[in-house]
């Protein structure tokens, strides 16, 4: 068994956002909340205003995880980020595509186009914290986040990295989706929201959530010896309540 | 972390192929490059009048059928050329926008959208078509997507989590991507001229590649002769800017140094370097900086994007397949379009094919979000 420590956790769901030390409960049945700069940064942060919602969503969960792990204040170079997403930035893609329709009489927006790459929010987080480790998005049909989690644990195991941020980022997708000839994705089953974990080798943070382990065949993961199904499930187990 | 036993198996490329604007397979690409051919033409697939350039490197045989996304047509062409693959082989795809053209085919308001527009539908489609026992996953890290996908596939084999991984790398050019790069002013009005003083930007291209990776044990059990060894890889972020490279190339340097550390070789062992070489002013300056900082002037380097365009998320896979040919023949295709090399680039680049020596070749890609990835390939003996 390989074992690492979960030392931070941050999330934005439809019901609440924040981290264990600062949870903001949201009005029910309103979908994902608007994310304002002041929700995540006390100080002005110029790049925030230009970001699309998908980037703000993922960045907010990362910032909350960094605060929870007591790593918010200073740069942490040797840190990587792996984000899983089923939706990608489809909402932004649709907004950009709408600017191409002749009837809208608009010019394609370069600022919006830049955010039609779902990995851009990882760049935003890397800039904010000076993270120089690897960063990429994994698109899986069923977003459990476990493929990314396995890769994150491996990177810590081989000693290539000091910290890993690992999580899920899915925006809210409205509309009707046809299976269109493949098993495909059930859009209604995607849990909207973002959750990120800060993982490290050693138990540095007194407020850590304890150990996460996986078997050597990379097929099963355990939080404090209890099996976990996906990263949402892991987050619930860490904070010991519905979030 | 005490007690962690990390195995490091060897990883081999046992098959490599590419479909590009130069032709239907890797041989067509390699031969075409050696003959100084170009796949860049005026694009006829969509109206280019509103955009900075009419030029693109498109695959002539790629046509949308039954409102299908072009990406799935390209996937079909790649799958058709594959030999029988073990059903337990893990699938990883690399694509930035997958079936994004499906958005163009529907009215966005109040209509049903194909679920194939989701990026995860690409590996799902390929896995089902090939009858694999897994649904695979897609890796997206802008223009470094393929290089990272190959690195991650290799990592799974190195660590003993898989013994066979198929990497399918593909991106197509549609109104969506073409308009975006035009709006960003990243596009050259004329065919791209990587590393030339007169370069004005990139030319978009489309293409696909398949790279089949195997561990030593699996390969021997199937009596397969390897094409090359994936020696090591490194991935790093600039942490500088979302849409522009760090001018000092700090992320790319770190990715290369990490790859060398994993391979346990010094930089001077690398005699050939397949660069990203997009033809944009800042990307190429950044790479020239990295070349001059890390490598001797005896190092041979090239970019193929002046001939097949920038194939975005597929670029790393296509270039990896090409590196296999370069190691096999010890001949690196020239840098298409190069006439007047940028200052400090003249030692490394040539418009003509260059002989390469040594056992190692480096290939790198960089992209939006500050991502950089490097892979070192070793000659198979």
Helix, strand or coil, per DSSP, at residue B3: coil
Strands B204-205 and B55-57: parallel
Shortest alpha-carbon distance between residue A20 and chain B (Å): 26
Q: In A, which residues are within 8 Å of B68 by CB distance?
A: none
Give per-residue pLDDT as tens, B254-307.
999 999 999 999 999 999 999 999 999 999 999 999 999 999 999 999 999 999
Give per-residue pLDDT as tens, B25-76.
999 999 999 999 999 999 999 999 999 999 999 999 998 877 789 999 999 9
Residue B2 has a pLDDT of 41
Whether B210 has a pLDDT exceeding 90, the answer reads: yes
Q: Which residue of A has its CA nearest to B253?
A: A132
Using CA atoms of B114, B171, B250, A151 in order, give the dihedral in degrees to the nearest 10. 60
Closest by CA position to B50, among listed A116, A105, A35: A105
CB contact under 8 A, B371 and A135: yes
The whole-model pTM stands at 0.97
Q: How far out from the chain centre does Cα B332 lie?
A: 16
Helix, strand or coil, per DSSP, at residue B63: coil
CB contact under 8 A, B114 and A185: no
Shortest alpha-carbon distance between residue A173 and chain B (Å): 11
Residue A181 has a pLDDT of 62
Q: What are the structure tokens assigned to A127, written together?
A: 């800039």
Q: Which residues of chain A have pLDDT under 50?
A: none
CB contact under 8 A, A118 and B140: yes
Residue B23 has a pLDDT of 98
Query: A40 near A18, Cβ under 8 Å?
Result: no
Tell me the backbone φ, ψ of residue A105, rounded to 5 degrees.
Answer: 50, 45
Q: What are the structure tokens assigned to A224, written together?
A: 């404090």
Q: What percentage of chain A reaches a pLDDT higher than 70?
A: 95
Residue B3 has a pLDDT of 41
Give per-residue pLDDT as tens, B167-196.
999 999 999 999 999 999 999 999 999 999
Residue A180 has a pLDDT of 66
Helix, strand or coil, per DSSP, at residue B116: helix
pLDDT higher at A185 or B12? B12
Closest by CA position to B40, among listed B311, B328, B334: B311
Q: How far apart are CA B11 and CA B112, in angstroms?
A: 44
Q: What are the structure tokens assigned to B158, written together?
A: 């190195």
Centre a 10 Å sphere on the Cβ of residue B370 and count the other Cβ atoms it contains. Answer: 31
Q: What are the structure tokens assigned to A119, written together?
A: 């990995």
Q: What are the structure tokens assigned to A115, written together?
A: 């955010």
Block residue for tokens 């300056």: B285
Give per-residue pLDDT as tens, B322-357.
999 999 999 999 999 999 999 999 999 999 999 999
Q: Average pLDDT over chain B, rounded to whole?
A: 95
Strand partners, A5: A200, A211
Q: Which residue of A has its CA nearest to B113?
A: A177
CB contact under 8 A, A185 and B115: yes
Residue B282 has a pLDDT of 97
Shortest alpha-carbon distance between residue B37 and chain A (Å): 31
Residue B108 has a pLDDT of 47
* Rg from Cα positions in chain A: 18
Q: What are the structure tokens assigned to B286, written together?
A: 């950044």
Interface pTM (ipTM) of the complex? Answer: 0.96
Query: B141 near B149, Cβ under 8 Å?
Result: no
Whether B375 has a pLDDT exceeding 90, the answer reads: yes
Burial environment of residue B282 by CB neighbours within 10 A (0 to 12, 13 to 18, 19 or more): middle
Q: How far apart are CA B156 and CA B164, in angstroms?
A: 9
Whether B153 has a pLDDT exceeding 90, the answer reads: yes
């Amino acid at each position: 068994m390989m074992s690492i420590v979960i030392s931070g956790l941050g999330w934005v769901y439809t019901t609440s956002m924040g981290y264990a030390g600062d949870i903001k409960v949201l009005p029910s049945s309103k979908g994902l909340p608007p994310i304002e700069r002041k929700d995540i940064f006390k100080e002005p942060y110029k790049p925030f205003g230009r970001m699309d919602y998908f980037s703000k969503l993922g960045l907010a969960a990362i910032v909350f995880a960094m605060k929870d792990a007591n790593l918010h204040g200073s740069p942490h170079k040797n840190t990587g980020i792996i984000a899983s997403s089923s939706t990608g930035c489809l909402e932004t893609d649709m907004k950009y595509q709408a600017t191409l329709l002749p009837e809208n009489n608009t010019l394609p927006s370069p600022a919006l186009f830049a955010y039609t790459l779902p990995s851009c929010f990882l760049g935003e987080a890397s800039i904010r914290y000076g993270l120089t480790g690897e960063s990429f998005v994994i698109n899986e049909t069923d977003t459990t986040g476990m493929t990314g989690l396995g890769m994150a644990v491996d990177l810590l195991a081989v000693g290539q990295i000091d910290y890993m941020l690992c999580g899920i980022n899915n925006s809210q997708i409205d509309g009707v989706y046809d299976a269109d000839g493949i098993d495909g994705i059930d859009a209604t089953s995607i849990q909207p929201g973002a959750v990120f974990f800060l993982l490290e080798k050693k138990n540095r943070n007194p407020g850590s959530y304890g150990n996460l382990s996986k078997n050597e065949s990379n097929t099963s993961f355990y939080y404090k010896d209890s099996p976990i199904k996906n990263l949402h499930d892991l987050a619930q187990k860490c904070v010991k309540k519905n979030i | 972390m005490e007690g962690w036993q990390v195995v490091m198996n060897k990883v081999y490329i046992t098959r490599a192929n590419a479909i590009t604007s130069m032709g239907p397979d890797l041989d067509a690409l390699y031969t075409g490059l050696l003959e100084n051919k170009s796949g860049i033409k005026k694009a006829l697939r969509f109206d280019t009048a509103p955009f900075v350039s009419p030029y693109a490197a498109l695959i002539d045989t790629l046509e949308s059928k039954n409102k299908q996304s072009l990406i799935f047509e390209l996937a079909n062409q790649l799958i058709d050329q594959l030999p029988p693959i073990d059903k337990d082989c893990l699938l990883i795809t690399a694509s930035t926008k997958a079936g994004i053209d499906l958005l163009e085919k529907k009215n966005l308001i109040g209509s049903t959208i194909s679920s194939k527009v989701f990026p995860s539908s690409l590996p799902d489609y390929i896995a089902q078509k090939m009858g694999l026992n897994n649904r695979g996953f897609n890796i997206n890290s802008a223009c470094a997507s393929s290089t990272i996908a190959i690195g991650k596939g290799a990592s799974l084999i190195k660590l003993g989590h898989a013994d066979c991984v198929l990497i399918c790398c593909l991106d197509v050019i549609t109104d969506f991507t073409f308009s975006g790069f035009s709006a960003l002013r990243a596009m050259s009005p004329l065919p791209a001229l990587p590393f030339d003083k007169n370069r004005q930007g990139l030319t978009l291209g489309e293409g696909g590649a398949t790279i089949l990776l195997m561990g030593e044990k699996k390969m021997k059990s199937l009596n397969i002769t390897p094409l090359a060894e994936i020696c090591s890889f490194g991935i790093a972020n600039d942490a500088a800017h979302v849409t522009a490279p760090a001018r000092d190339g700090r992320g790319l340097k770190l990715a290369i140094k990490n790859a060398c550390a994993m391979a346990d070789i010094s930089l001077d062992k690398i005699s050939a370097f397949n660069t990203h070489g997009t033809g944009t002013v800042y990307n190429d300056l950044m790479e020239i900086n990295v070349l001059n900082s890390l490598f001797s002037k005896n190092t041979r380097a090239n970019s193929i994007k002046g001939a097949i365009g920038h194939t975005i998320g597929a670029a790393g896979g296509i270039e990896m397949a090409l590196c296999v040919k370069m190691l096999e023949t010890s001949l690196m295709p020239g840098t298409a379009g190069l006439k007047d090399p940028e200052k400090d680039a003249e030692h490394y680049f040539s418009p003509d094919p260059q002989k390469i020596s040594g056992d190692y070749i480096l290939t790198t890609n960089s992209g939006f979000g500050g991502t950089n990835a490097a892979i070192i390939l070793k000659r198979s003996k």
